[in-house]
Amino acid sequence: MSTLVIVGAQWGDEAKGKIVDVLGNQATYVVRYSGGNNAGHTVITGGKTFKFHLLPAGILHKNTLSILAGGMAICPKALLEEIDRTREQQADLGELRISPSAHVVFPYHRLLDQLEESARGNNKIGTTSRGIGPMYTDKVQRIGIRMGEFVKPELFKKRLAEVLEFKNRLITLLGGEPVKIESLLEEYLGYAAKLAPYVSDTESVLQEAVRRDERVLFEGAQGTFLDLDHGTYPYVTSSHPTTGGACLGTGIGPRDIHNALGVCKAYTTRVGEGPFPTEQDNAVGQQIREQGHEYGTTTGRPRRCGWLDLVALRHSARINSLSGLIITRLDVLAGIPELEVCTAYDMGSGPVNYIPSTPCEWETVQAQYQTLAGWDEDISGARKWEDLPKTTQDYVRFIEEFTGVPAAILSIGPDREETIVLRPELIWG
Ligand code: IMP
């Protein structure tokens, strides 16, 4: 029982970075399997704050091999800057390896991200503008450039010439300035040379690690309801942040995923547009935003805040085969006398037992709530279950019972130490 997926169980930003940091030093491999620098993971440790967008949080552990797997979208410039920045903060990092199958994000993807968002008008998605959607579009269109090609200069030049001609036609159509191949090549050949030493096969490394029963931690980015298939389409990202995505993105088979822990906040947040039935666009939402410093790590945008949506969380537990929950940011709810939790969706004719699949259905959803008692105390000093107020314990128990998934870990502050491990057996099995 050696593989563990840490998956975002809501709309992203569930504090997965902290959790991966806490568990990363127990793993030999930490693997990012989907998305790119649209993600933002914050790790606070030893008085330092690390902000990761591409590097797995495991990079801070020197005996861990960090892997950027084939399912990822990698911006070379952002990755190199992140490596340098992290090295300035901590001299000895763990080893890094990049899959030759991972796709490369280029400036024309970022340009298209902006042009396409403008063209959407009122239907914009609120993307992070990092070019991730246009890059995955190229992947599906079978014109993407993979890392394995990018680091071979002659091959890269040839592929770029083919692709850019095609992309520039689209850019011009959308009113943008065509991208010049000469300056792009000059800049990106330099990045390719710097990244080349990191690029080599990762599938076999991971498959062998699983056979040897070594611990592999798959670090999810974004969250379940941003999944291209299972999220609130079309307000989703373009990859698969779910547990299934860990198989697709790495080449590990489904039966080799032993444990999946779903990270969820004690409330709900979302950045960008799209359905959010429990959103509180009012004083409570504002209180949660300020107490939880709910501003995006990647874009700095204020996050939309609301009550915990247990209907969505239960669905997420099923999609991801969750073996346990990691409930984060319980401390943020302190001082709110009554906490609402959504226990049913009503779409006009009584509660429904499914999750809508179209925006017009989502618009009709009325969240039905149950009220639970809150707590006033600052709980960030708690280090074991018994240290928590009874009302916090009841809140956690209610989540477990409703979702049918036991809590493995509680997080009650941003620091590594501000963590309560309730059921260690759920982590590695
Ligand atoms: P994209 O991934 O930049 O294409 O953005 C698509 C949607 O996913 C937007 O609503 C983004 O705000 C959201 N999104 C992408 N990455 C993250 C993340 O790491 N956390 C939260 N939301 C994200």
Span 142-152, mean pLDDT? 98
Query: What is the per-residue pLDDT for 57?
Result: 86
Residue 357 has pLDDT above 90, yes or no: yes
Query: What is the per-residue pLDDT for 43?
Result: 86
Distances (CA, A) of 175 to 136, 170, 256, 384: 21, 9, 47, 58
**Digit-coded pLDDT (tens) for 156-189:** 999 999 999 999 999 999 999 999 999 999 999 9
Ligand 1 midpoint to CA 30 (Å): 22
Distances (CA, A) of 293 to 281, 290, 305, 311, 405: 16, 5, 11, 25, 28
Going by pLDDT thresholds of 50, 70 and 90, the confidence category of residue 24 is confident
Query: What is the per-residue pLDDT for 154?
Result: 98
Query: What is the per-residue pLDDT for 338?
Result: 98
Query: What is the per-residue pLDDT for 296?
Result: 87
Residue 1 has pLDDT above 80, yes or no: no
Among this protein's residues, is 41 annotated catalytic?
Answer: yes
Asked whether 104 and 150 are in contact (CB, 8 A), the reply is yes
Cβ atoms within 10 Å, residue 310:
24
For residue 126 and ligand 1, the question of a CB distance below 6 A is answered with: yes
Which ligand 1 atom sits nearest the alpha carbon of residue 132?
Answer: 4
Ligand 1 midpoint to CA 80 (Å): 22
Ligand 1 midpoint to CA 271 (Å): 7
**Digit-coded pLDDT (tens) for 217-266:** 999 999 999 999 999 999 999 999 999 999 999 999 999 999 999 999 99
Superfamily of domain 3-99+198-259: Adenylosuccinate Synthetase, subunit A, domain 1 (3.40.440.10)
As assigned by CATH, the class of the 103-196 domain is mainly alpha
Query: What is the per-residue pLDDT for 110?
Result: 98
Query: What is the per-residue pLDDT for 371?
Result: 98
**Digit-coded pLDDT (tens) for 254-310:** 999 999 999 999 999 999 999 999 999 999 999 999 999 999 877 889 999 999 999
Atom 2 of ligand 1: nearest residue by CA position: 237
Distance of CA 124 to the CA centre of its chain: 21
Residue 103 has pLDDT above 80, yes or no: yes
Which ligand 1 atom sits nearest the alpha carbon of residue 129?
Answer: 3
Query: What is the per-residue pLDDT for 300?
Result: 87
Active-site hit among 21, 41, 113, 315 = 41
Span 92-111, mean pLDDT? 97
Residue 87 has pLDDT above 70, yes or no: yes
Domain range summary for the chain, segments of one domain joined by +: 3-99+198-259, 103-196, 264-426
pTM for the structure as a whole: 0.96
Cβ atoms within 10 Å, residue 79:
25
Atom 12 of ligand 1: nearest residue by CA position: 272
Q: Which residues of 238-274 are buried (b: 16+ CB within 10 A; e: fewer)?
A: bbbbbbbbbbbbbbbeeebbbbbbbbbbbbbbbbbbb
Provide the CATH topology of domain 264-426. Answer: Adenylosuccinate Synthetase; Chain A, domain 3 (3.90.170)
As a whole number, the mean pLDDT across the chain is: 96
Ligand 1 midpoint to CA 211 (Å): 34
For residue 12 and ligand 1, the question of a CB distance below 6 A is answered with: yes
Among this protein's residues, is 53 annotated catalytic?
Answer: no
Query: What is the per-residue pLDDT for 326?
Result: 98
Query: What is the per-residue pLDDT for 45?
Result: 82
Angle at 57 between CA 51 and CA 59, to 5 degrees: 110
For 412, phi and psi rounded to 5 degrees?
Answer: -125, 25
CA-CA distance, 190 to 76, in Å (whole number)? 10
**Digit-coded pLDDT (tens) for 37-82:** 999 888 888 889 999 999 998 899 999 999 999 999 999 999 999 9
- Dihedral (Cα; 121, 275, 318, 38), 10-degree rounding: 50
Which residues partner with 307 through β-bridges? none
Residue 116 has pLDDT above 70, yes or no: yes
Query: What is the per-residue pLDDT for 42?
Result: 86
Most ligand 1 atoms within 8 A of CB, residue of 14, 128, 304 to mutate: 128
